[in-house]
Amino acid sequence: MLRSFLIQYLLLNYYTDMETISKSWIEYDNSTEIFSIQNIPFGVCHFKNLNVTRCCSRIGDYVIDLFELERNKLLDSEVISFSNLNKNIFNNNELNFFIELGRPVWKSVRERIQNIFKKGSSFENQISFIHHISNVEMRLPVKIQDYTDFYSSKNHAFNMGKIIRGEKDALQPNWVHLPVGYHGRSSTIVVDGTPIIRPRGQTKPPKQDNPIFSECKKLDYEVEVGVVVGKSNEMGKPVKVKDAEDYIFGLVLLNDWSARDIQTWEYVPLGPFNAKNFATTISPWIVTLEALEPFKVELPKQDPEPLKYLQDENLVSWDIPISVSLRTPQTTDDVVISTTNYKYMYWTIKQQIAHHTVTGCKLNVGDLLGSGTISGTDPGSYGSMFELSLNGAKAIPVGQEERTWLNDGDVVNFSAVINGKGFNIGFGNCSGKILPSNAEEEYY
C-alpha cells in the first residue's frame, strides 16, 4: 500500500493550476459546494469511529484526515519533507504546529491536497483517508492564547454612536485616526454549535439610583470576521503595514456575543469587560488567504489620512457576504434577519496588526483578532440587534414573531457563501443556542 502511494506521489505535480483544478473526484451538491476543491480550509475534528482528534481539511461532505496523508508522505514537496521533522504535525488537536511552519508550507500543503483530490488524479476513489462529515465532530481549530476585538466598521461605529450620543457626536474623535480595539478573553472562545448560557452580572436600570445584580435582559450578537494569526513577531519589534499580510493564516466567521445592559453600566471608562467575556463563537473551518484571493476588494481612501505607520497603499478587504439567521423555539426554520458583508470595513487587517504591535506588543501563532461588528449602510445590512432594534426601541420581525433582543431557546447562526466563477467558498456555520442563566445559583 505504502509503495503504491509513493509511486503515485511521484507522478503528482508540485504546483496547482487553479484553471485545471475545477472539479474533485469527491462529488458535492448545492448544500456542500462551499467546500469546493478551490477552498481547502483547515480545521480540527474528532473522528468518532477512530476515537482520535486530528487536523483535517474538507471537500464536499467529506473530511480529509491530514495525518493519514502526512504519514504516507503524500504532503511532502520541494518545500518540506514532513518525515524529516521527526514529529507528527497533523496528529494533534490543534493546528498551531502546522501554522508555525510558515506560509510556503501552508501553500504547498494546500496545493498537494488539491492535486490528490482533483478529478482524474491517480488517487481517485481511494477513500482510506476521508470520512463522511456525519462521522466527525468539529473542534476548536487552534490553541488561542490571546484574543483582541477591534471596532473597525465605520457604519457600525456611527450607528452605535448615533443611538447612544446623537448624530453630531456619533464618532468619537479618535475613531478615524486609529483602529479602536480591546483585549478579550480567549478562555471562552468556542466552536460552532456550542450552547451559550445567558450571562448574569451588574446592571443599572435607567430609573433606579443604584445598580442591581440580574441576568442579562439585552443579549445580542455581533457579526464579525476573525483573523487567525500565522506568525509571531518579537516583543519590542512592531509589524509594518507592508509586512502584515504575512502574519495572517486565514479567516473565520466570529460572533462576539454581547450583554448590552451589562456593557452600558460597566464600559465607562475602560470599555467592555463582563459584557463580552462570557462567550465568543467561531466557525470551525479556517479559510486561507489563497482561497480568498479572487475576492479581494478595494476600500475607499481614508479621510483624514492616518499617521504614517498606518498608511497603506493597498487598502483592501474581501467580498464575503454574511447572512444572519434566527431560529426560535416556536419555529423550525431559520429566518434571515440581516445580510452584511466584510467589504464594509474602514480599517484593514493590515492596519489592525500594525496598530496592535506598534507599541512592541507580541503576537503569537494562533492568536485571534476580531474585526469588530460589520454593518452596511442600510438596516438590512446591520450587524447587531442593537442597531436593528435601535437599542430595543423597535421590534425586529422574525417570521410570525418579533424580537428586540435574544430570548432563551433562540438559535443564532452566521453563514457565508462567496460566489466565484464556477465554484463557491464558505466557512461552515457559526451558531449558538441561548440557554437560560443559572438563576437558581447564588453568586452573592
**pLDDT tens for each residue of 420-438:** 998 999 999 999 999 999 8
* Sequence spans of domains, the chain: 2-139, 147-435
C-alpha cell at 8: 503515485
As a whole number of angstroms, the distance between CA 130 and CA 287 comes to 19
- pLDDT tens figures, 274-333: 999 999 999 999 999 999 999 999 999 999 999 999 999 999 999 999 999 999 999 989
As a whole number of angstroms, the distance between CA 204 and CA 207 comes to 8
> Residue-wise over 12-37: b if at least 16 C-beta within 10 A, else e?
beeebebeebebbbbebeeebebbbb
Q: Is 213 helix (H, G, I), strand (E, B) or coil?
A: strand
CATH of domain 2-139: 2.30.30.230
Q: Is 122 helix (H, G, I), strand (E, B) or coil?
A: coil
Q: Please name the residue that has the C-alpha cell 433606579.
A: 208
| Residue 16 reports pLDDT greater than 50 | no
Q: Given its phi and psi angles, is residue 242 left (phi above 0), alpha (psi -120 to 50 degrees) or beta?
A: alpha
What kind of architecture, by CATH, is found in domain 147-435? Alpha-Beta Complex (3.90)
Q: Is 264 helix (H, G, I), strand (E, B) or coil?
A: helix
**Catalytic one of 131, 156, 355, 356:** 156
**Mean pLDDT for the stretch of residues 159-178:** 93
Neighbouring residues of 158: CB distance < 8 A, sequence distance ≥ 6: 170, 171
Active site residue 131: no
| Residue 2 reports pLDDT greater than 50 | no
The answer to whether 146 touches 183, Cβ cutoff 8 Å, is yes
| Residue 186 reports pLDDT greater than 50 | yes
| Residue 217 reports pLDDT greater than 90 | yes
Does the fold of domain 147-435 match that of domain 2-139? no
Closest CA to 120 of 20, 28, 19: 20
Give the pLDDT score at 86. Answer: 84
Q: What is the pTM of this model?
A: 0.94
